[in-house]
Amino acid sequence: MEEVRKLFTAHLENKGLRKTGERYAILEEIYARSGHFDVEELYAGMKERGLQVSRATVYNTLDLLVEQGLVSKHQFGRNLAQYEKSYGYRQHDHVICTECHKVVEFCDPRIHGIQTMVGELLNFHILHHSLNLYGICGDCRAQAAARSSVSPA
């Protein structure tokens, strides 16, 4: 967390922005979480803990953190943006259920090999990648099967 705070402080200073307690509270709230979250979940979680922060500050701070590379922003096929902390976390990809919108992370070293090979083949220095696979999870398939096996009375 100390390193993340230093990087964020440097980013704020470089942009000539104020280093406010609210911005650091948002950063700490994000890095205390696991998994993905949306703005409303983050805002509600902070309010529940008694932290005074405006929705606008949450949105603006998230933009700064994404810009800095400390947080990643995803659009998993819906209009609702999802975020996750990214500093010091390994590259991973996502499988998203199109029914319940569950997001599962996975890491497969073969993807890194493909990335390296494609970069060499096409003379690109690959900086990062994003892979999202969409389908229907086992729980949703089981629920659909249970519904279809129930015959009308």
Binding residues: 93, 97, 100, 129, 137, 140
Residue 130's φ and ψ, nearest 5 degrees, are -140, 125
Question: Which residues fall in the annotated binding site for Fe cation?
Answer: 93, 129
- Structural contact between residues 11 and 1, judged by C-beta atoms closer than 8 angstroms: no
Question: Which residues fall in the annotated binding site for Zn(2+)?
Answer: 97, 100, 137, 140
Tokens of 97: 């259920």
Sheet architecture: strand order including 132-135: 103-106, 93-97, 132-135
Question: Beta strand pairing status for 81-85 and 103-106?
Answer: unpaired
